[in-house]
Structure 1
């Protein structure tokens, strides 16, 4: 299959519409700076250095949520990362936006308004249907090229992701390329040594989807978090159940118990269980217990224990490739950060090919003073990362590939 075009294939001095994903945490109306801005800044800076006239499309939140705000602050934050002023335009494809696009000079950039504030953006539709929308039909004629850089949203069939690339020549930005190639490596790349996956977190169904898809390509699944407890429950330990009304465990157990048992039966040697777990004792201090000694679960287990950390770190450090999907514990609390932080440190120190999944897990790298450069790739994607790991197609990538095929 023919691949996508990148910025290396884009002739200088054009009018370009670039779709980024700057969706960020918002606290009391204030947009928080994060690695998405610094990553996308590379694409924007390169476009400006090559003399393009650049309009940026992005989204923030969803209608009805507190995080659904304008992109005025995003333009300011991105300007700092790019080192150039990016003008905020409080319109997406109306007269104000079209005038701002027409007024662009070479090496200038504007940020159009939150694309999700339009009616056309959010419905999940086929690319051909989106291509007929007012949003696409109004914006596309204003530009020479489309740059898709919103890998984190590439699993969505939204107008700005799949409709616009059908109406103009489309190119992959630097974030799109680096994310896609790193995250799909586990499915598309051959490794000489062992491949290990750190499988943890709270969302058991997502992790088990990944494990089921990759069971024949992964040599070691290091199990932690809620996922780890559910697997331990399946082999007979008295963990992996709720001790209050939170329903973190029971609903996920009912939804996944059959698939968990199938994985245990079909790949028993690849599953590496926690041998000990950590909890907050009566003095609110970290305490640990061997899994075999748990006879009646009366604590919430918030991390894997020290022996497990040592075992997991050793396996990861001696692997050819390590992919991280989910945290091993509640690392936001320093008392229960050992599992996630120490294993990440072991991965960072080794010379293995390493990909750390997006979302919460990647935050541990910053929180505990690790250097992002010690890892092959730290993803900024959530749902798209899962899709890549499980081998499902990404509509936002497929349309970029299709754009190449359409011109040959």
Structure 2
């Protein structure tokens, strides 16, 4: 197991990696749950008198979301209610001067690590450790703290390079996410275990289903993936209409596997019995799956499906959620996603909610995060944890 903040020496200068990668709308970085979660780690360390240099990334080169971290410093400052200094440099002279001017309890956010070539280079952890980026910054700090669980599956320099040359610890977000998201592989449940699977990527969810079939009793399907399974079951859905491109390519790649899963899992897979769409008046309308001929895009599971799924959740000892059952960002088509989450909130079951932006629906629709055992801020790392795959950041901390 890795070391945590509880194992830190009593004082020192810490290099902390967080993940506040966020949506950017019209050039404005959007505040989200990642800021508040990482702010808790930074607050604890600053209150304990540590001097903090903070690394983070935003977007990828060539994308509209690839911006500096100046706004991130302002958002973090608002969450911490204390100044987060920012320097538009990662490990050059300006960064080093700002780092050396820091004193106990002060926090400095360095520039977007993806603005340097070393971060995304395809190298081994040992090679990353030999980079000028890692060599330079490691000399300025006493220890390294990785709190960026959302990027734990990325073998980038700021994730795997520093633990090669510095004492390394897991931050509070890293610790909590790893423990909760690994529960499906590491815990034993005496009662019924359910998993709600939605979203747009069939490959991710098929892999999850194959790896957790010894633990999960019932899979509740929705979203794009649910339609693909309905197509395999003989219903006239699960293909592209109206210039969409969600279905046909995935069907060509995954048809055989989906059919095999339906055949081998039987009634452990619960498919939607009705689906919702936008009618000519712009209102939510629903249609039964049996006998339907798809002529428009389906945007959510229907009311009868929601009721059936809620009943399964009510009888479960544990429920895991990966992906949305519908386009919950549109209130008309949030019934499936919100219905499942509200059913979980009403029970005393162990629950983990994650996968892309799914957890965001909890905030959008005014639910209490405290009603869930864990709400994950991770995407790809959450999928890997569910399937029991190794995470390079965890391996680096353990080593």
Which residue of 385, 389, 398 maps to 1:388? 385
1:330 maps to 2:332: no
Q: How many residues align?
A: 399
In the aligned structure 1, how far is the partner of 2:211 from the partner of 2:66?
A: 34
- Superposed counterparts of 1:18-97, under 5 Å: 18-97=16-95
Shift of 1:364: 1.1
Provide the C-alpha distance between the structure 2 equivalents of 1:395 and 1:236, rounded to a whole number of angstroms: 41
Q: Is residue 2:137 matched to residue 1:146?
A: no
Per-residue CA deviations over 1:348-389 (Å, capped at 9, x if unaligned) read 111111111142211111111111111111111111111111
For residues 40 and 124 of structure 1, the distance between their equivalents in structure 2, rounded to whole angstroms, comes to 27
> Which whole-Å CA distance do the structure 2 matches of 1:192 and 1:186 have between them?
13
User: 1:187 aligns to what SS in structure 2?
Assistant: helix
Q: Shift of the alpha carbon at 1:330? A: 1.2
Tell me the SS of whatever aligns to 2:297.
coil
| Alpha-carbon separation, structure 2, partners of 1:352 and 1:111 | 39
Give how far 1:35 is off.
0.7
Superposed displacement of residue 282, structure 1? 2.3
Corresponding residue number in structure 1 for 2:163: 165
* Secondary structure, aligned partner of 1:192: coil
Distance 1:335 1:141 in 2: 54
Query: Helix, strand or coil: the match of 2:65?
Result: coil
- Are residue 348 (structure 1) and residue 345 (structure 2) matched? yes
Which of the residues 310, 313, 331 maps onto 2:307? Answer: 310
Q: Deviations over 1:180-203 (max 9, x none)?
A: 111111111111111111011111
Question: 4+ runs of 1 displaced by more than 3 Å?
Answer: none
What do the CA deviations read for 1:196-226 (whole angstroms, capped 9, x no partner)?
A: 1101111111111111221222101001111
Maintained 8 Å contact 2:73/2:86 = yes
Does the CA-based 8 Å contact 1:124-1:156 persist in structure 2?
no
What is the Cα deviation at residue 304 of structure 1?
0.8
Alignment of 1:158-237 (within 5 A): 158-237=156-235
Equivalent position SS for 2:358: helix
For 1:155, the equivalent position in structure 2 comes to 153
- For structure 2, list consecutive stretches of 5 or more residues without a partner in the other structure: none
2 CA distance for matches of 1:95 and 1:284?
57
- The normalised TM-score by structure 2 is 0.98
Mapped to 1, the partners of 2:83 and 2:218 lie a distance apart of 48
- Distance apart, 1:85 and its partner CA: 0.8
The alpha-carbon deviation at position 299 of structure 1 amounts to 2.1
- Find the counterpart in structure 2 of residue 250 from structure 1: 248
- Report the CA distance between 1:117 and its aligned residue: 0.8
1:122 to 120, 123, 135: 120
Q: Distance in 2 between matches of 1:158 and 1:334?
A: 38
| CA positional deviation for 1:244 | 3.0
Task: For 1:254-265, list aligned pairs within 5 A.
Answer: 254-265=252-263
SS in structure 2 opposite 1:320? strand
What is residue 297 of structure 2 aligned with on the other side?
A: 300
Q: Secondary structure at 2:209's aligned position in 1?
A: helix
1:397 is the counterpart of 2:394: yes
Q: How far, CA to CA, are the matches of 1:364 and 1:163 in structure 2?
A: 35
Q: Secondary structure at the match of 1:298?
A: coil
Structure 1 residue matching 2:117: 3-state secondary structure? coil
Residues 1:370 and 2:373 aligned together: no
Q: Is the 8 A contact 1:130 1:162 kept in 2?
A: yes
Which residue does the alignment assign to 1:406?
none
Report the CA distance between 1:235 and its aligned residue: 1.4
Contact kept? 2:242, 2:297, Cα under 8 Å: no
Structure 1 gaps of 5+ residues are 403-408
Distance verdict in 2 for CA 1:358–1:234, change over 3 Å: closer
**8 Å CA contact retained: 2:321, 2:355:** no
